[in-house]
A and B are shown apart, each in its own frame.
Chain A
């Protein structure tokens, strides 16, 4: 019966929850969902991670390739990140080339990551002007239940942290390359960017901020994704984005910043524990 009510009276249904200070999945406004993280589950990659925030599931796999650096940046390597929102993760996506929404998400993740300066691209260069690493990071969303960007950033950074580069010998005279996979060095990562999504719901006269929104909440707050994404890296912001939704008061904005900071500490702890357990 509740299903029918939800479909026929969507706004009233949602308001009934909000009026009682609870969200449809039973969380309080400032509760986030449980995070599950697993490293190196996929053996065909050079590094991989799977994250589950509530129902949202994102897998990140990294493949290493070699290429000649760009002529204008001879001592820089390449790091290519792509987010794939598959048709299987939600009925909203159609098969075929990525939708506008998928491209936006892909762009946000790449932006956040570039701004955080976690990876120095110079570390990926092997021989300037001759040879450099290309790190392909493909993030694949298997289940889209909101806050995809958070999960993407989390898997990306976790898999990069567990990535090791094999040793490459480059003969300058003969231009011969040989790779020794038995010797591997980890990649240097500075800091740990963490993204936190919010949805802003206008219920006049107040506007309510929902943390870590589910897909249904994102839809009710207008728009196909989260309304506000805040990223925190090493005590510094590396991206705040607000897309549509309702207006936000100054106090509410300050509160969201503090919450994002708290959450970034928690997520850092999760990632570190996970990596530590993996090494053992």
Chain B
């Protein structure tokens, strides 16, 4: 790898210490056995079809003071920050385009992954996530309102514990609404990991990792699915599947994901409504203060006038 002269670099051949721990050498079967106990309860106490959105979901807007709109989403350990800026000129563009463009960038923090440190330079996974995010958001934004310009959407993953893309889409949707970007609908997303005949809704990093690992036998379903939905318009804006699975499995997974996305919706709606209420109250307070000041000013004017008239 070429040396990054813009940053401080460590020694070239450094290795994460967990390569030398006992944890590292586990086989596929051992890892699989660890994920779920005999009662069907996952490591973090959830059942297979239970998403983190119901019990461990935390989201807020207005995280970043410098951005037009921003959001933060936490799914237990997965932590994602997103900010949206005003439209700006598209660099090196010569053609007239009737629709505005979205520029999405997903970045992992160097310390975000539990396995190894991520390099600073953007890698293939980040690029793939950025494109996926852009494709998912494009149908929801009223792009005809800013022709020839682009909207910047930056997503930063502080900690990666599975369902990154889903969290990024949810956060971006919230941030867009917070920035008052006209949108056709709210967007919600959810992901699912398939390992054999088990479906892990809203998987953790360990589950995702196993789902994309090649199983030792052929013909076993495995893979990851992420789906983004516009719930009010009943449309799917993005569907992404990796791994190999049969048709029945996908049909079933789509149904499960559809339900999950609808479950997230009230959470997001609540945040947006609360925002409107808060900003309305703030505005009212400001108007009240402004009126008081204006009254004080007018009183002073009258005072001066009488003084002037008196000579």
Stretch of B7-15, B92-100, B135-143, B191-199 with 4 or more beta carbons under 8 angstroms from chain A? B7-15
Instruction: Please tell me if the beta carbons of B8 and A63 are within 8 angstroms of each other in the complex.
Output: no
Q: How large, as a class, is the contact surface on chain B?
A: 35 or more
A266 close to B (CB within 8 Å)? no
Among A88, A90, A136: residue with most chain B CB under 10 A:
A88
With both chains docked as a complex, state the minimum distance between the C-beta of B29 and any C-beta of chain A, in angstroms.
23
Among A55, A178, A179: residue with most chain B CB under 10 A:
A179
Instruction: State in angstroms the CA–CA spacing of A66 and B158 once bound together.
Output: 23
Stretch of A10-18, A91-99, A149-157 with 4 or more beta carbons under 8 angstroms from chain B? A91-99
Interface size on A, residues (CB 8 A): 50
Instruction: Please tell me if the beta carbons of A59 and B17 are within 8 angstroms of each other in the complex.
Output: no
A256 close to B (CB within 8 Å)? no
With both chains docked as a complex, state the minimum distance between the C-beta of A68 and any C-beta of chain B, in angstroms.
7
On chain B, the residues within 8 Å of A97 by CB distance are 4, 6, 121
Instruction: Please tell me if the beta carbons of B154 and A80 are within 8 angstroms of each other in the complex.
Output: no
Closest chain A residue, CB of each to CB of B74: A41
Instruction: Please tell me if the beta carbons of A65 and B156 are within 8 angstroms of each other in the complex.
Output: no
Instruction: Please tell me if the beta carbons of A143 and B66 are within 8 angstroms of each other in the complex.
Output: yes
Contact mask for chain B residues 98-121; partner A; CB cutoff 8 A; 1 contact, 0 none: 000000010101111110010011
Contact mask for chain A residues 96-132; partner B; CB cutoff 8 A; 1 contact, 0 none: 0110000100100010000000000000000000000
Instruction: Please tell me if the beta carbons of A143 and B64 are within 8 angstroms of each other in the complex.
Output: yes
Instruction: Please tell me if the beta carbons of A143 and B160 are within 8 angstroms of each other in the complex.
Output: no
List which A44-58 residues lie within 8 A (CB) of chain B: 44-45, 48, 55, 57
On chain B, the residues within 8 Å of A252 by CB distance are none
Instruction: State in angstroms the CA–CA spacing of A227 and B155 once bound together.
Output: 31
On chain B, the residues within 8 Å of A82 by CB distance are 7-8, 110, 120
On chain A, the residues within 8 Å of B120 by CB distance are 82, 84
Instruction: State in angstroms the CA–CA spacing of A43 and B160 once bound together.
Output: 10
A82-B120, A95-B154 in contact; A65/B15 too (CB < 8 A)?
yes
Instruction: Please tell me if the beta carbons of B6 and A63 are within 8 angstroms of each other in the complex.
Output: no
Instruction: State in angstroms the CA–CA spacing of A194 and B81 once bound together.
Output: 27
Q: Which 9 A-B pairs have the closest CB atoms?
A: A61-B111, A88-B154, A67-B14, A55-B65, A65-B14, A67-B11, A88-B83, A179-B20, A138-B110
- 8 CB contacts below 8 A, A to B, read A65-B14, A78-B10, A88-B83, A91-B86, A98-B6, A138-B109, A142-B156, A166-B17
Residues of A within 8 A of B (CB): 42-45, 48, 55, 57, 59, 61-68, 70, 78, 80-82, 84, 86-91, 95, 97-98, 103, 106, 110, 134, 136, 138, 140, 142-145, 166, 168, 177-181, 215
